Amino acid sequence: MLDSDAFAIVGMAGSLRSGSFNRALLQAMAELAPDGISIDTFDLSPVPLYNADLDESVDGGPYPDAVRDLRAAVEQADALLLTTPEYNWGPSGVLKNAIDWLSRPAGASPLNQKPIALAGASKGMSGTGRGQLQLRQNLLATNSYVLQRPVIQIGNAKDHFDEHLRLVDEDLRTRICDQLIALREWSRRHQPMSAPLP
Ligand code: FNR
């Protein structure tokens, strides 16, 4: 049953490949969302590379349709959930590109004061910790409210998903629920300020 009063999260995965652990993680998180929390996933595949000539907020435009859809989805969401691979110690370009489209106009963008949780999975041991740290830095620039704990950083991803990319780690399933509940509480504590800071 659709719960229209649910805390509405929009989730985006920073990997486009079909066998992606981060897409599988986002899917698992959507399925594990506890009562009163809903997660809609937004597919970043159609979002083109950022081009200021197409950016309505900086005298360009019109926005490509996928960018208009992306911005509308984020504006309407109570909070965001970003699952990112770690590429070269940073977040994926796919995710960074989406953030760039969402970041304008500075100080009044859809990301301004938006509560956000991060999660990620990598094949290596680091579990995307370095990528998430860079992502946090990017989201400082957008004045977003990034949840601090619990973190979801899954190293050796193959050990936590089965061959059908289903999450099989019970501890992780519990931590995911904890993170989603924490995001809702975090959001309640960080209601947007009516006037922007100077
Ligand atoms: C990687 N990978 C990787 N892993 C890691 O732990 N730290 C890193 O810095 C990188 N760098 C990196 C760069 C590039 C270009 C690729 C293609 C891969 C491995 C990466 O974590 C692994 O491929 C994940 O499975 C990618 O996420 P998805 O696609 O499974 O969601």
Ligand 1 atom 15, closest CA? 87
Residue 60 has pLDDT above 50, yes or no: yes
Instruction: Indicate whether 197 pLDDT > 70.
Output: no
Closest CA to ligand 1's atom 1: 87
Answer whether 143 contacts ligand 1 (Cβ < 6 A).
no
- Give the pLDDT mean for 80-102: 98
Render the burial of 54-88: b for 16+ CB within 10 Å, e for the rest. Answer: bbebeeeeebbebbeebbebbeebbbbbbbbbbbe
pLDDT at residue 1 tops 50: no
Confidence (pLDDT) at 193: 77
pLDDT in tens, 113-161: 999 999 999 999 999 999 999 999 999 999 999 999 999 999 999 999 9
Q: How confident is the model at residue 191 (pLDDT cuts 50, 70, 90)?
A: confident
Ligand 1 centre to CA of 152 (Å) is 16
% of the chain beyond a pLDDT of 70: 96
Q: Is the pLDDT confidence value at 195 over 70?
A: no
CA dist., res. 186 & res. 189, Å (int): 5
Tokens of 33: 């969302």
- Which of 21, 86, 133 for a ligand 1 pocket mutation test, highest count of atoms within 8 Å of Cβ? 86
**What is the arithmetic mean of pLDDT over 90-105?**
98
CA of 123 to the centre of ligand 1 (A): 7
Averaged confidence pLDDT in the chain: 95
Q: List the beta strands (DSSP E) in 21-62.
A: 37-41
